[in-house]
Amino acid sequence: MTAVRRSSVAAWTLAIASLACGSKKPERDDAPVPPAQTAPGDAVPSVVGDTDAMALPHSVHDDLGGAFAHILRDQPRVLGVGELHLRTDKAGPTTSALARFTTEAMPALGTRVSDLVIETWLVDPACKIGGAATQRVESAMKRPESTKDEIGALVGVIKQHGIKPHVMRLSCDDLAAVAPPTGVDAEKLLDVVTRELDRVTRSAVRYRDEHAEPRPLIVVFGGALHNDLYPFESTRQWTYARSVDQATSGRFVEVDLYLPELIEGQALYEAEDWYPLVAKAPPGKVLLVERAPHSWLAILPRS
């Protein structure tokens, strides 16, 4: 497994923030859990090839709704969902993981979810630099314009299901540090996003626990770096997962949504023990892989 060196972050600039890091390196002392059992209607693919890939529990589902129904057997209190963002400067799929999550997974999760935290932010209207600084970040991230519409669609589904939405709240000082007139500081951006996702999520857990919320699930949706339950030492400071896992007494579950077009040809992913499964995924289906305890990977269909 290829480790990410701390010194390489400067060279990545915003690549970490926008592409994220999907590699997992188990560092906890958790005892292994039994392989996931398949439910009626699940089909386990016939995989021939890499032995390590064969050893990972995996199943095939018609869509993300079926995959998340399978994941819920882990009985999460908080479900940290991460995606690899589409970028305007890279060729890729036409349908994002965010769009698929909204249309396929949310109908299956909706009645179970009390709160959904989204990796986007609001700025105090009184902050005079707010608009310009946010624009600098958006330009550097190179997100497609359609991303705003997709976030809006997710918020619409959230409201339909009576789920409380949460976003990050950045101060003027945050924006001044993250996006000064000279450009965007990638590491400070990662620091602020991690801090806010952690703060907002733990606050939602605490509030729901105190008020005996009957819906058992809080969902966080963002990049596939901040939700890492098994981070590299070099990226440990940019994950909220361990803090939230502690706050929920070990009931945090991470799920990464990967589109094949975004990981093929990328050495970071090709070095993973699960990567040989990508080529074996049945067309039009979702391949769900259990990488480690409470850590799942969903390989989505090609656009």
**Residue 97 near residue 258, CB atoms below 8 Å:** yes
Question: pLDDT at position 5, please?
Answer: 27
Given a cut of 70, whether residue 87 has pLDDT beyond it is yes
Residue whose tokens read 């999907």: 22
Amino acid identity of residue 22, one-letter, is: G
> What number is the average pLDDT over the span 97-123?
94
Domain coordinates of the chain in residue numbers?
74-258
Quick one: which H or E segment has residue 82?
Answer: strand 78-83
Q: pLDDT (tens digit, 9 = 90+) per residue, 149-202? A: 889 999 999 999 999 999 999 999 999 999 999 889 999 999 999 999 999 999
> What number is the average pLDDT over the span 69-91?
89
**Residue 241 near residue 252, CB atoms below 8 Å:** yes
Q: pLDDT (tens digit, 9 = 90+) per residue, 12-62? A: 333 444 434 444 444 443 433 333 333 333 433 333 345 566 678 999 999
Given a cut of 90, whether residue 89 has pLDDT beyond it is no
Question: pLDDT at position 50, please?
Answer: 52
Task: Report d(CA 230, CA 249) in Å as an integer.
Answer: 16
Task: Report d(CA 235, CA 254) in Å as an integer.
Answer: 16
Higher pLDDT, 128 or 4: 128
Q: How crowded is residue 107: how many other Cβ atoms within 10 Å of its Cβ? A: 16
Of 27-36, 135-144, 223-232, 242-251, which range is least confident? 27-36
Question: pLDDT at position 54, please?
Answer: 65
Question: pLDDT at position 9, please?
Answer: 35
Task: Report d(CA 133, CA 124) in Å as an integer.
Answer: 12
Question: pLDDT at position 125, please?
Answer: 84
**Residue 127 near residue 79, CB atoms below 8 Å:** no
The phi and psi torsions of 124 (rounded to 5 degrees) equal -55, 125
